[in-house]
């Protein structure tokens, strides 16, 4: 029965809980059993909030029994990436400087998940401040790929992806700047979505206007991902780039579409000259071309954006500098991934600093820090 609960989709579990066929406490216990059995080998969940999760599950059970109006994620165990603040639950950012940090306020996206009925089960591993494509840090160590523990689950939302793929949680939250949701999803055989910037509020965010990093769902099915996305998106006054979604429900769209007539899809095997494993290309190509069977128009095209690599690295480096502005004096205390990201912005910043040498406040200090690299 434990495995039955943890392998069911989030949509199925939510329906069972809403119909009072299953208790949120039973669902929680099933996932805790899997965590106890699997997590020591894989190191996906680094802070387990089992006590607060149990209290929330009991409240969720009582609400269901009373016949209260339930949210779309009512009673579902959800894990949160360890760079996203959670009130009362340790949030380390994967950094030794914050290994005992406990926020007093939830990130807006966490607040929304709770409002939809989700039970926050714990925090998932990430490279320090999400700076890296492999999931490891000096606080918690390495997260392993569940398909082959000798391999990487990718990053930076690797812990979230592993937790979902193995049934430790129904759903997981991640963040994505340069594939930090999408790569772990692909490495672990699940679904990950990087929403359009602004759809998921990014509060709290030092660079509140920046569209680089976004919050998104990781799930085992497209329907589950859409269900979670609906709970996360929407306008927020706390996020200056926030926008309302152009649809009433992502889940309804995914759940009701019977054909894709009129949809045009372009297939690109390799957009950046990195190279794609032949087996992966064959699988992806076949899956994409099969969409013709349900009405879509699919065309293979050539699309090369490899020239964007250097500008992207400069942008990401400057973004990291902005994110860590308050901690720049302690830069040497951070790991190599974070310091490397800061250094990537040097070339761009050199010209920027020359042009703005007389600017007030942050620019002179930023220039001094960047010149170290």
The predicted-structure confidence for 21-66, as pLDDT tens digits, reads as follows 999 999 999 999 999 999 999 999 999 999 999 999 999 999 999 9
Same structural domain for residues 287 and 319?
A: no
pTM, full prediction: 0.90
pLDDT at position 58 is: 98
Residue tagged active-site, from 23, 95, 154, 156: 156
| CATH code, domain with 84 | 3.90.1300.10
- Average pLDDT of the chain is 90
Instruction: Kindly state the tokens that stand for 163.
Output: 């937790």
Same structural domain for residues 295 and 339?
A: no
Same structural domain for residues 283 and 349?
A: no
Residue tagged active-site, from 152, 154, 180, 236: 180
Same structural domain for residues 187 and 62?
A: yes
pLDDT at position 247 is: 92
Same structural domain for residues 87 and 206?
A: yes
DSSP secondary structure, 130-159, as one string: G-SSS-EETTTEE--BTTBTTS---SSSHH
Q: Identify the domain containing residue 288 by its residue range.
A: 264-304
Residue tagged active-site, from 8, 23, 81, 154: 81
Same structural domain for residues 31 and 66?
A: yes
Number of domains in the chain: 3
pLDDT at position 183 is: 97
Same structural domain for residues 226 and 156?
A: yes
Residue 58 is a catalytic residue: no
**Sheet (strand 45-48) strand order:** 45-48, 119-124, 77-81, 171-176, 214-219, 191-192
Q: What would the mean pLDDT of 7-25 be, rounded to a whole number?
A: 97
What pLDDT band is residue 349 in, cutting at 50, 70 and 90?
Answer: very low
Same structural domain for residues 317 and 284?
A: no
Residue 8 is a catalytic residue: no
Residue 309 is a catalytic residue: no
295: left (phi > 0), else alpha (psi -120 to 50), else beta?
Answer: left
Same structural domain for residues 143 and 224?
A: yes
How many Å apart are CA 34 and CA 169, to the nearest integer?
9
pLDDT at position 344 is: 55
Same structural domain for residues 130 and 279?
A: no
How many Å apart are CA 63 and CA 75, to the nearest integer?
10
pLDDT at position 351 is: 42
pLDDT tens, residue by residue, 190-220: 999 999 999 999 999 999 999 999 999 999 9
- The residues that bridge with 204 in the sheet, in sequence order, are none
Same structural domain for residues 89 and 36?
A: yes
Same structural domain for residues 238 and 334?
A: no
């Amino acid at each position: 029965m434990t495995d039955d609960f943890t392998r069911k989709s989030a949509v199925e579990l939510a329906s069972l809980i809403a119909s009072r066929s299953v208790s949120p406490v039973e669902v929680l216990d099933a996932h805790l059993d899997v965590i106890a059995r699997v997590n020591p080998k894989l190191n996906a969940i680094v802070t387990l909030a089992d006590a607060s999760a149990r209290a929330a599950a009991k409240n969720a059970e009582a609400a269901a029994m009373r016949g209260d109006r339930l949210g779309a994620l009512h009673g579902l165990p959800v894990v949160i990436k360890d760079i996203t603040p959670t009130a009362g639950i340790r949030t380390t950012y994967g950094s030794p400087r914050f290994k005992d940090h406990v926020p007093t306020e939830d990130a807006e996206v966490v607040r929304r998940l709770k409002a939809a009925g989700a039970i926050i089960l714990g925090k998932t591993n990430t490279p320090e401040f999400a700076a890296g494509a492999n999931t490891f840090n000096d606080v918690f160590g390495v997260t392993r790929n569940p398909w082959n523990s000798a391999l990487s689950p990718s990053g930076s939302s690797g812990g979230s992806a592993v937790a979902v793929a193995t049934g430790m949680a129904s759903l997981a939250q991640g963040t994505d700047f340069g594939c930090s949701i999408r790569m772990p999803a692909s490495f672990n055989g699940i679904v990950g979505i990087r929403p359009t910037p602004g759809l998921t509020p990014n509060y709290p965010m030092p660079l509140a206007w920046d569209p680089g990093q976004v919050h998104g769902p990781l799930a085992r099915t497209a329907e589950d991902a859409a269900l979670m996305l609906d709970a996360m998106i929407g306008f927020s006054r706390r996020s200056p780039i926030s926008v309302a979604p152009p649809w009433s429900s992502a889940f309804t769209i995914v759940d009701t579409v019977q054909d894709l007539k009129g949809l045009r899809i372009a297939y690109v095997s390799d957009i950046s000259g990195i190279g794609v494993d032949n087996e992966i290309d064959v699988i992806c190509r076949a899956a994409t071309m099969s969409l013709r069977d349900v009405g879509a128009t699919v065309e293979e095209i050539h699309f090369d954006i490899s020239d964007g690599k250097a500008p992207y690295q400069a942008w990401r480096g400057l973004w990291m500098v902005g994110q860590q502005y308050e901690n720049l004096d302690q830069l040497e205390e951070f790991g190599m991934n974070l310091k490397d990201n800061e250094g990537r912005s040097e070339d761009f910043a050199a010209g920027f600093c020359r042009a703005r040498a007389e600017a007030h406040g942050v620019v002179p200090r930023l220039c001094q820090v960047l010149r170290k690299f």
